[in-house]
Amino acid sequence: MDSHAAAHHKTIMAVDIAGYNDPRRGTAHRLVIHEGFWALMRSAFADVGVPWDVLFMENTGDGAMIQLPAEVAKADLVAQLPDRMLAELRRYNAVHAEEANVRLRVALHAGEVYQASHGTVSDATSFAFRLLEEPAAKKALKDSGATLALIVSDSFYRDVVCADPAADPGSYRRIPVEVKETKTEAWLRLLGAATNGFPLPVTTLLAKREAFSVLVEALLAVPCVRRTDSRRLLLELFSRREIADVVPYHAEDRLHVIALARTCQRFDGGLADLLDAIKMIEPESPQVTALSTLVEQWPERPFR
pLDDT at residue 218, as a whole number: 87
The answer to the question of residue 303 being in a domain is no
Same domain, 164 and 214: no
Query: pLDDT tens, 109-152?
Result: 998 887 766 667 778 889 999 999 999 899 888 877 889 999 99
Judge if 84 and 122 occupy the same domain.
yes
Domain that holds residue 114: 7-199
- The pLDDT, as a whole number, for residue 31 is 94
Percent of the chain scoring above 70 in pLDDT:
89
Pick the last residue of a domain from 158, 176, 199: 199
CATH number at residue 111: 3.30.70.1230
pTM for this one? 0.65
**Of the listed ranges 21-30, 101-110, 212-221, the one predicted with least confidence:** 212-221
Show contacts of 85-91: CB within 8 Å, 24+ apart.
85/40, 85/41, 85/44, 85/148, 86/147, 86/148, 86/191, 86/192, 87/44, 87/47, 88/40, 88/41, 88/43, 88/44, 89/40, 89/147, 89/148, 89/192, 90/147, 90/192, 91/40
**pLDDT for the residue numbered 163:** 87
Q: Where does the pLDDT of residue 195 fall: very low under 50, low under 70, confident under 90, or very high at 90 and above?
A: very low
